[in-house]
Protein backbone atom coordinates (compact mmCIF):
# COMPACT_ATOMS: atom_id res chain seq x y z
CA UNK A 1 0.00 0.00 0.00
CA UNK A 2 1.37 3.46 -0.84
CA UNK A 3 2.36 5.72 2.03
CA UNK A 4 -0.59 8.02 2.29
CA UNK A 5 -2.48 9.54 5.17
CA UNK A 6 -5.55 7.53 6.14
CA UNK A 7 -7.89 10.15 4.70
CA UNK A 8 -6.00 10.27 1.42
CA UNK A 9 -6.27 6.57 0.56
CA UNK A 10 -8.57 5.89 -2.40
CA UNK A 11 -10.26 2.61 -3.27
CA UNK A 12 -7.59 2.05 -5.92
CA UNK A 13 -4.88 2.08 -3.26
CA UNK A 14 -6.25 -0.99 -1.50
CA UNK A 15 -4.90 -4.46 -2.13
CA UNK A 16 -7.51 -7.02 -3.18
CA UNK A 17 -9.97 -7.63 -0.39
CA UNK A 18 -8.29 -4.95 1.71
CA UNK A 19 -5.50 -7.41 2.50
CA UNK A 20 -2.77 -5.89 4.66
CA UNK A 21 0.63 -7.03 3.45
CA UNK A 22 2.71 -5.10 5.95
CA UNK A 23 2.78 -6.85 9.35
CA UNK A 24 2.48 -4.85 12.53
CA UNK A 25 1.03 -1.70 11.04
CA UNK A 26 -1.75 -1.63 13.63
CA UNK A 27 0.77 0.40 15.66
CA UNK A 28 0.04 3.29 13.28
CA UNK A 29 -3.57 3.28 14.34
CA UNK A 30 -4.19 6.27 16.55
CA UNK A 31 -6.65 5.14 19.21
CA UNK A 32 -5.86 8.22 21.28
CA UNK A 33 -8.46 10.24 19.39
CA UNK A 34 -11.25 8.15 20.91
CA UNK A 35 -10.47 9.75 24.25
CA UNK A 36 -12.81 12.12 26.08
CA UNK A 37 -10.73 12.23 29.29
CA UNK A 38 -6.97 12.11 29.65
CA UNK A 39 -4.76 11.07 32.56
CA UNK A 40 -2.74 13.77 34.30
CA UNK A 41 0.05 12.96 36.75
CA UNK A 42 1.35 14.15 40.12
CA UNK A 43 4.65 12.28 39.89
CA UNK A 44 5.71 13.42 43.42
CA UNK A 45 3.36 10.71 44.66
CA UNK A 46 4.58 8.00 42.25
CA UNK A 47 6.37 5.01 43.87
CA UNK A 48 7.13 3.48 40.42
CA UNK A 49 5.24 0.27 41.26
CA UNK A 50 4.07 -0.12 37.64
CA UNK A 51 0.56 -1.26 38.59
CA UNK A 52 -0.94 1.21 36.11
CA UNK A 53 1.12 -0.43 33.37
CA UNK A 54 -0.18 -3.88 34.34
CA UNK A 55 -3.79 -2.74 34.36
CA UNK A 56 -3.72 -0.65 31.17
CA UNK A 57 -5.90 -2.58 28.66
CA UNK A 58 -4.30 -0.71 25.78
CA UNK A 59 -0.74 -1.59 26.83
CA UNK A 60 0.27 2.01 26.30
CA UNK A 61 1.87 2.79 29.68
CA UNK A 62 5.68 2.86 29.88
CA UNK A 63 8.21 4.37 32.32
CA UNK A 64 9.35 7.84 31.22
CA UNK A 65 12.95 9.09 31.45
CA UNK A 66 12.57 9.60 35.23
CA UNK A 67 11.22 6.07 35.67
CA UNK A 68 7.67 7.30 36.36
CA UNK A 69 4.93 5.41 34.54
CA UNK A 70 3.08 7.45 31.94
CA UNK A 71 0.52 6.72 29.19
CA UNK A 72 1.35 7.31 25.52
CA UNK A 73 -1.44 9.66 24.50
CA UNK A 74 -1.22 8.52 20.86
CA UNK A 75 -2.88 5.28 22.01
CA UNK A 76 -4.47 6.06 25.42
CA UNK A 77 -8.28 5.77 25.08
CA UNK A 78 -8.86 7.55 28.38
CA UNK A 79 -10.61 4.66 30.12
CA UNK A 80 -9.35 5.78 33.55
CA UNK A 81 -8.51 2.29 34.83
CA UNK A 82 -4.97 3.44 35.73
CA UNK A 83 -6.36 6.32 37.79
CA UNK A 84 -8.69 4.01 39.65
CA UNK A 85 -6.05 1.36 40.36
CA UNK A 86 -3.14 3.66 41.32
CA UNK A 87 -2.37 3.09 45.07
CA UNK A 88 -0.91 6.49 45.69
CA UNK A 89 -3.39 8.54 43.64
CA UNK A 90 -0.86 9.88 41.15
CA UNK A 91 -3.34 9.98 38.30
CA UNK A 92 -6.31 12.30 37.84
CA UNK A 93 -8.52 12.06 34.80
CA UNK A 94 -9.45 15.43 33.27
CA UNK A 95 -11.77 16.30 30.40
CA UNK A 96 -10.11 16.71 27.03
CA UNK A 97 -10.58 20.22 25.72
CA UNK A 98 -12.13 21.01 22.35
Partner 1 sequence: MMAKRVGMEVSVAIGEAAKMANVDVVAAYPITPQTHIVEHLAELVADGELDAEYIPVESEHSAMSACLGSSAAGARTFTATAGQGLELMHEVLYVASSMRLPIVMTVANRALSAPLSVWGDHSDAMAVRDTGWIQLFTENGQEVVDNVLCAFRIAEDQRVLLPVMVHLDGFHLSHMIEPILLPEVEAVKRFIPPLKYPFPLDPLKPVSMGDFGPPFIYSEAKWAQEVKLREAKDVVVECWQEFGKQFQRHYSPVEEYRSEGADVLLLTMGSYSETAAAAIDKVRAEGKNIGLVRLRLWRPFPFAELRQKVSQARVLIVLDRALSIGGPVGPVCSEIRSALYGQAKQPKVVSIVGGLGGRDISVAGFEAIISRGIKVAEKGSRNEFEIFGVRE
What does the alpha-carbon distance between residue 33 and residue 30 come to, in Å, rounded to a whole number?
6
Q: Is 33 in the site for partner 1 (CB under 8 A)?
A: no
Name the minimum Å distance from CB 79 to partner 1: 19
Burial of residue 31, with CB atoms counted within 10 A of its CB: 0-12 exposed, 13-18 middle, 19 or more buried: middle
Q: Contact with partner 1 (CB under 8 A): which of 2, 3, 7, 89? A: 7
CA 97 to CA 8: how far, in whole Å?
27
Residue 9 binding partner 1, by CB under 8 A: yes
Closer by beta carbon to partner 1, 34 or else 87: 34
What minimum distance in Å lies between the beta carbon of 33 and partner 1? 11
Of 11-19, 46-54, 70-78, 88-96, the segment contacting partner 1 by CB under 8 A is 11-19
Task: By CB under 8 A, name the binding residues for partner 1.
Answer: 6-7, 9-21, 23
Amino acid sequence: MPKKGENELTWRDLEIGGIVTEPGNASQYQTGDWRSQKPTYDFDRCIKCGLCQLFCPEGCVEPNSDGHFEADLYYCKGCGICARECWTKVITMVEEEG
